[in-house]
Structure 1
Amino acid sequence: MARTRPLTLLLAGVLAAGGLVALTPAAQAADPDLARNGGFESGLDGWSCTAGSGAVVTSPVHGGTKALLATPAGSDNARCSQTVTVKPNSAYTLIGWVRGDYVHLGASGTGTTDVSTWTQSAPAWQQLTTTFRTGASTTSVTVYTHGWYGTSAYHADDVSLVGPGGDPVRVPAAPAGLTAGSPTSSSIPLSWSAVPGATSYHVHQGGSRILTVSGTSATATGLTPSTAYSFQVSAANSAGESPKSAAVTATTTSGGGGDPGGGLPAHALVGYLHAGFANGSGYTRMADVPDSWDIINLAFGEPTSVTSGDIRFSLCPATECPNVESAAEFKAAIKAKQAAGKKVLISIGGQNGQVQLATTAARDTFVTSVSKIIDEYGLDGLDIDFEGHSLSLQTGDTDFRSPTSPVIVHLIQAVKSLKARYGSDFVLTMAPETFFVQLGYQYYGSGPWGGQDPRAGAYLPVIHALRDDLTLLHVQDYNSGSIMGLDNQYHSMGGADFHIAMTDMLLTGFPVAGDTARVFPALRPDQVAIGLPASTNAGNGHTSPAEVNKALDCLTKKTDCGSYRTHGTWPGLRGLMTWSINWDRFNGWEFSRNFDAYRWS
């Protein structure tokens, strides 16, 4: 959210140029070729290509009758890979033939030093070769080819891995000892015994897979209070998935969940009120905000400095906003809105309000100063609108379930303190940009960062840690670049498909950075609203009322879905958020009037 909002997303890959790996004799002449279908004669059998980037062609080929054609697109480098069983403490030679620009051949998971070799330009077939030695406990490696971001398609053929074969990997046994811990109103913790040979575990709820983890515990979240749930777990490795375990049943508790900070209508309209500044849209007095708006976020509470944690709020100066009301009139108007069932929150951040809670002192100051604003104006809660570099991952912060970055950990602690202070009626909303949420689908925790911005996905640990306290998440589906959806396709701002794809991710859950061991769980539909600019003046990616209605129809009724196919239907989707009430007034109230007229059923 911003007073003026430039297009901010710009992702750039950094090509780490290095010399070709020196070739040394590594494997015995009698060693077998361990790569499966290295000539692609059986199509893509044995190979997995990111984002559907791989295909098999009959020309050109290096040997046989077929070869791989892989096409990078957007932020995907067309990586095609397979996992091969090997022996520990053994030498291997990886060979492949390639054509194209910036084509890579490599091996990862070696247990020693992972290797990669590449050619900058190969207009004709060129052989790439590299060698490695496995570690003391390494039993499998992943061999791969890939191109580079924004370059043309490449070809690969006759890929071989020569060295001693490892013992075959067998499908693991079904897990035993599945038990449920103490439930909350919206979550149930689970644990089970380790299975020899398993590399991951799938958690199933009522027959549907909901989580994949690498350890022997997981927590099912986003559940309904006072409801019985049945769970099973299966074990998996490169050979396949085990049968499911015996089922365990547990029932969520009745209190505290389902609608944190309740009292909202089934379908709510959220808007930001420029209470502290003027930006060309005109000042709107609190008393003049129409009844259409169910949550009014005061923009903004801003820090005295980036790192202090000290947040202040004041009304727009009369020199900027000649029609501004007095503080007493403003407070009286807030009480009138609340008497009519509306919620009024203080929003912290915005484009210019960068907040970094890097220390415990800043955390405590944040809690104290935000509480003072809430108490002075009699507000219902807090909206977190951190942007810029307020939230950022650090190298090693690779799991959203257990963050280590101080600015993230301290924010979570601060909000929990505020929730504890004000109780169950405290309304908590968040307004991250897609950069901080859906970009995590591709990039979160891929450090060391290698050219990717460490802010990508940085809201994910905050949302996850606070999901049981979260009233509403309204991601800003604007001022964004194209984002990849769960269909592995890129979607652009301004049309129904973008909002459908971005919202489907929140309501379905998604593997973070392609890692099925780190699945971000789905939010409840009553916790989700779609964030949009109220007019073309308010931000890049304005969506016409007709396209907004298409998105709502698809998500709540599964009609008029266009090219994107959702993973469910959510008639309980909470509603819409917009930047801003002021800009909607400037635009003749088009946004709110369309919301009021929309038929939810």
Structure 2
Amino acid sequence: MYRTAYRPSIRSLSTLLIGVLVFLLIPVSAFGAAQWVPNTPYLKGDIVTYQAVNYECIQPHTSLTGWEPPAVQALWKVSTQPSDTIAPSVPASLQSPAHTSNSVSLTWQASTDNVAVTGYNVYNGSSVVGTTTNLNYQVNGLASDTLYTFKVAAFDAAGNVSAPSANLDVRTDAAPPDAIAPTAPTNVRSTSITANTIALAWNASTDNVGVTQYEIVVNGQVASTSAATAWTATGLTANTVYTIVVRALDAAGNRSADSTSLSVATLSTNPPLTTAKVLVGYWHNFDNGSTNIRLRDVSSNYDVINVSFAEPVGDYATMAFTPYNSTKEQFKADILELQGKGKKVNISLGGANGTVELTTAAAKQSFITTMNNIINEYGFNGIDIDLEGSSLSLNGGDTDFRNPTTPKIVNLISAIQTILTAQGSNFMLTMAPETAYVQGGITGYGGPWGAYLPVIYAFKDRMNFIHVQHYNTGAMTALDGRSYSQGTADFQVAMAEMLLQGFPIAGNANNKFPALREDQVAIGLPSTPNAASGGFTAAADIDKAVKYLTKGIGYGGTYQLMKPGGYTNFRGVMTWSINWDKKSNLSFSNPVRATLDGLK
């Protein structure tokens, strides 16, 4: 095999030039042969033309750039054969001995050529529909009762093509009448349901000729047709039952019998969460070294997924959110997939780095507009308030949690109320404050201490649940006057009961923050020691705390419940975070899910 171009010697070039001069004396046109091209297989005896000179192949090979005929005398020699430039004669007597509703048979008389005829091109109109070496050809796939124009041209080995034969007009036969209807479609089923769509599929029908399409009938009316065995109904009303049948049709217009009817109810736009004991997890919209996980891949252990976070851009009020590890469309599909499994996907505000301060009416309106845009674009089920740092703090003189005066607290309450009104009664509201902002109000009220209490109080009837962060905190004073340290069963029970019982503000028994409903209170914990700087609690201690809170099953701890029998409707557990839990092979959610399920 040749790997480099042949480099002719000076003597070889002289010989070549003499050959060219001899060739030029031959009265033969070089244009009857095909042009030489690289990357083409050539056989011995093949004739090509290159730079107006004909060459004959002297050994088989596949051409390469650099192996042009004059450069590789081991492969090519100047041809002394005369070129064939004479086209075959025109085929005569084109006829159609037979035709059907979808085919035409053609015959013709042979052409002649100075060398030899090698084949015939068959034309339907101006398009070549086939090539043959025979004197007959059948054109298939034609429409019935339609006039077609055919012609035939002959060609030889040199590529010379004759003029076409005379045109032959042939009309295909009319199709035979088809009175047989297709079979009815079977196994009509829904493959996906949302609040306003139902995706359908069914098994194909059969027909003596062929099924051309299906009619989809929704509530007695033909809604659409489909050539495929699947279709999606759109623009439907939420929480509504639709009755669907499918029929098959053939080309003759025969309809099958109706399929078995299928009744399907669309989902509510945002059905209320019915799970008695919830496991809530925060999903990172960033990579912090835990685990990069697609939203759709969140463990089924979780009932509520808080997407973290919507954050302000350019100021402290204009909110934005963009998925970090998928496109927007993929992320929306992930949300729909989780919602289809009965999960709630909420958008969480702020976090440790997202400072939100609505100090003016303009800032409040910007917050409302941008948050509604985010919620509507992605279809979130609710909003989670996770404001930290300076986002919430009480101004001097603001001493009444029932009637706050600090602008950024007043404006936040007003903004959340507006968003809840716009999103409807089933739109979720949850909160995840730090302990200082809630239970810290028992020892003092001002600055950050107790700063969440006006917000909690404003939504005490509307809020779904609150899960205070029982981590990254110092020791906290409980209802019994004792101080408890994070990371223990006692801490979880003591901090939770403060919200279940209510507590005096700054120690004033006459100014008590009221108790929340049992189903509004959960506890928040880190899923692994790496997830927080402090407060990690072993699964066994979480189990003790939850069972004591819900059933009064003691574990010998220091803190004693004020309601010895426990709080049956206590809501559950939250964790930061789903990603850290995934990194630890679900070492948090597996045992906690088992604990919660065991309370049912």
Please classify the TM superposition score into its range, dividing by the shorter chain length: 0.5 to 0.7
Alpha carbons 2:465, 2:520 under 8 Å: kept? yes
Deviation at 1:264, TM superposition (A): 3.3
Identify the residue that residue 223 of structure 2 maps to in structure 1. none
Alpha carbons 1:428, 1:472 under 8 Å: kept? yes
1:589 aligns to 2:589 (yes or no): no
Q: Tell me how far apart the structure 1 counterparts of residues 355 and 274 of structure 2 sit (CA, whole Å).
A: 29
Alignment of 1:84-99 (within 5 A): none
Deviation at 1:261, TM superposition (A): 7.6
Normalising by structure 1, report the TM-score.
Answer: 0.53
Deviation at 1:423, TM superposition (A): 1.2
Deviation at 1:467, TM superposition (A): 1.0
Q: Tell me how far apart the structure 1 counterparts of residues 287 and 334 of structure 2 sit (CA, whole Å).
A: 20
Identify the residue that residue 498 of structure 1 maps to in structure 2. 491
Identify the residue that residue 600 of structure 1 maps to in structure 2. 599
Identify the residue that residue 535 of structure 2 maps to in structure 1. 541
Question: Quick one: which of 539, 545, 564 aligns to 2:559?
Answer: 564
Instruction: Output one character per residue of 1:497-519: Cα deviation in whole Å (capped at 9) or x when no partner.
Output: 00000001000000110112211
Q: What is the percent sequence identity of the aligned residues? A: 48
Q: Whose relative contact order is higher, 1 or 2, with alpha carbons under 8 Å and at least 6 apart?
A: 1
1:429 is matched by which residue type in structure 2? T
Identify the residue that residue 282 of structure 2 maps to in structure 1. 272
Identify the residue that residue 312 of structure 1 maps to in structure 2. 320
**SS of the counterpart of 1:298?**
strand
Instruction: Output one character per residue of 1:12-56: Cα deviation in whole Å (capped at 9) or x when no partner.
Output: xxxxxxxxxxxxxxxxxxxxxxxxxxxxxxxxxxxxxxxxxxxxx
Q: Tell me how far apart the structure 2 counterparts of residues 431 and 596 of structure 1 sit (CA, whole Å).
A: 20
Instruction: Output one character per residue of 1:368-418: Cα deviation in whole Å (capped at 9) or x when no partner.
Output: 100001011011110000001000101111110110000110000001001
**SS of the counterpart of 1:337?**
helix
Identify the residue that residue 36 of structure 2 maps to in structure 1. none
Normalising by structure 2, report the TM-score.
Answer: 0.53
Q: Tell me how far apart the structure 1 counterparts of residues 323 and 339 of structure 2 sit (CA, whole Å).
A: 19
Q: Which moved more, 1:261-270 or 1:435-444?
A: 261-270
Q: Which moved more, 1:499-508 or 1:337-346?
A: 337-346
Go from structure 1 to structure 2 and tell me whether the alpha carbon gap of 1:261 and 1:396 turns closer, same or farther (over 3 Å shift): farther
Deviation at 1:305, TM superposition (A): 3.9
Q: Tell me how far apart the structure 2 counterparts of residues 261 and 442 of structure 1 sit (CA, whole Å).
A: 40
Q: Tell me how far apart the structure 1 counterparts of residues 271 and 464 of structure 2 sit (CA, whole Å).
A: 6
Deviation at 1:595, TM superposition (A): 1.9
Alpha carbons 2:519, 2:571 under 8 Å: kept? yes
2:404 is matched by which residue type in structure 1? P
Go from structure 1 to structure 2 and tell me whether the alpha carbon gap of 1:585 and 1:532 turns closer, same or farther (over 3 Å shift): same
Question: Quick one: which of 455, 471, 496 aligns to 1:478?
Answer: 471
Identify the residue that residue 547 of structure 2 maps to in structure 1. 553
Q: Tell me how far apart the structure 2 counterparts of residues 476 and 331 of structure 1 sit (CA, whole Å).
A: 28
Instruction: Output one character per residue of 1:426-468: Cα deviation in whole Å (capped at 9) or x when no partner.
Output: 10000000010000111014xxxxxxxx111100000001111
**SS of the counterpart of 1:550?**
helix
Q: Tell me how far apart the structure 2 counterparts of residues 380 and 299 of structure 1 sit (CA, whole Å).
A: 14
1:418 is matched by which residue type in structure 2? I
Question: Quick one: which of 561, 570, 573 aligns to 2:570?
Answer: 573
Q: Tell me how far apart the structure 1 counterparts of residues 395 and 380 of structure 2 sit (CA, whole Å).
A: 34
Question: Quick one: which of 298, 301, 304 aligns to 1:295?
Answer: 304
**SS of the counterpart of 2:362?**
helix
Alpha carbons 2:542, 2:592 under 8 Å: kept? no
Alpha carbons 1:528, 1:573 under 8 Å: kept? yes
Identify the residue that residue 272 of structure 2 maps to in structure 1. 262
Alpha carbon RMSD of aligned pairs, Å?
A: 1.3
Q: Tell me how far apart the structure 2 counterparts of residues 265 and 530 of structure 1 sit (CA, whole Å).
A: 16
2:568 is matched by which residue type in structure 1? P
Identify the residue that residue 412 of structure 1 maps to in structure 2. 413
Q: Tell me how far apart the structure 2 counterparts of residues 262 and 542 of structure 1 sit (CA, whole Å).
A: 31
Alpha carbons 1:430, 1:472 under 8 Å: kept? yes
Identify the residue that residue 505 of structure 2 maps to in structure 1. 512
**SS of the counterpart of 2:377?**
helix
Deviation at 1:596, TM superposition (A): 2.0
Deviation at 1:326, TM superposition (A): 2.4
Question: Quick one: which of 517, 521, 531 aligns to 1:528?
Answer: 521
Identify the residue that residue 124 of structure 1 maps to in structure 2. none
2:574 is matched by which residue type in structure 1? M
Deviation at 1:560, TM superposition (A): 2.2
Alpha carbons 1:264, 1:294 under 8 Å: kept? no
Q: Tell me how far apart the structure 2 counterparts of residues 378 and 362 of structure 1 sit (CA, whole Å).
A: 24
Alpha carbons 1:261, 1:424 under 8 Å: kept? no
2:546 is matched by which residue type in structure 1? L
Alpha carbons 1:262, 1:471 under 8 Å: kept? no
Deviation at 1:329, TM superposition (A): 1.6
Identify the residue that residue 337 of structure 1 maps to in structure 2. 338
Identify the residue that residue 329 of structure 2 maps to in structure 1. 328
Instruction: Output one character per residue of 1:476-525: Cα deviation in whole Å (capped at 9) or x when no partner.
Output: 00000000000100000111000000001000000110112211010111
Q: Tell me how far apart the structure 2 counterparts of residues 560 and 588 of structure 1 sit (CA, whole Å).
A: 30
Larger Rg: 2
More helix as a share of residues: 2
**SS of the counterpart of 2:492?**
helix
1:315 is matched by which residue type in structure 2? P
Q: Tell me how far apart the structure 2 counterparts of residues 511 and 532 of structure 1 sit (CA, whole Å).
A: 25
Identify the residue that residue 466 of structure 1 maps to in structure 2. 459
Instruction: Output one character per residue of 1:134-173: Cα deviation in whole Å (capped at 9) or x when no partner.
Output: xxxxxxxxxxxxxxxxxxxxxxxxxxxxxxxxxxxxxxxx
Instruction: Output one character per residue of 1:297-342: Cα deviation in whole Å (capped at 9) or x when no partner.
Output: 11110001453x10000112xxxxxxx2322121111011111111
Q: Tell me how far apart the structure 2 counterparts of residues 600 and 564 of structure 1 sit (CA, whole Å).
A: 21
2:318 is matched by which residue type in structure 1? D
Alpha carbons 2:283, 2:578 under 8 Å: kept? yes
Instruction: Output one character per residue of 1:510-565: Cα deviation in whole Å (capped at 9) or x when no partner.
Output: 01101122110101111111100000000111000000011001101111241111
Identify the residue that residue 444 of structure 1 maps to in structure 2. 445
Instruction: Output one character per residue of 1:267-320: Cα deviation in whole Å (capped at 9) or x when no partner.
Output: 011001012x1100021101111111111111110001453x10000112xxxx
Q: Tell me how far apart the structure 1 counterparts of residues 575 and 315 of structure 2 sit (CA, whole Å).
A: 26
Go from structure 1 to structure 2 and tell me whether the alpha carbon gap of 1:333 and 1:438 turns closer, same or farther (over 3 Å shift): same
1:479 is matched by which residue type in structure 2? N
Alpha carbons 1:477, 1:499 under 8 Å: kept? yes
**SS of the counterpart of 2:537?**
coil
Identify the residue that residue 380 of structure 2 maps to in structure 1. 379
Q: Tell me how far apart the structure 1 counterparts of residues 458 and 315 of structure 2 sit (CA, whole Å).
A: 23
Q: Tell me how far apart the structure 2 counterparts of residues 305 and 408 of structure 1 sit (CA, whole Å).
A: 21
2:455 is matched by which residue type in structure 1? V
Alpha carbons 1:476, 1:531 under 8 Å: kept? yes
Identify the residue that residue 142 of structure 2 maps to in structure 1. none
1:543 is matched by which residue type in structure 2? T
Aligned residues: 325
2:526 is matched by which residue type in structure 1? P
**SS of the counterpart of 1:518?**
strand
1:358 is matched by which residue type in structure 2? T
Q: Tell me how far apart the structure 2 counterparts of residues 326 and 305 of structure 1 sit (CA, whole Å).
A: 23
1:590 is matched by which residue type in structure 2? S
**SS of the counterpart of 1:439?**
helix
Q: Which runs of 4+ in 1 moved over 4 A?
A: none
Q: Tell me how far apart the structure 1 counterparts of residues 327 and 512 of structure 2 sit (CA, whole Å).
A: 49
2:429 is matched by which residue type in structure 1? L
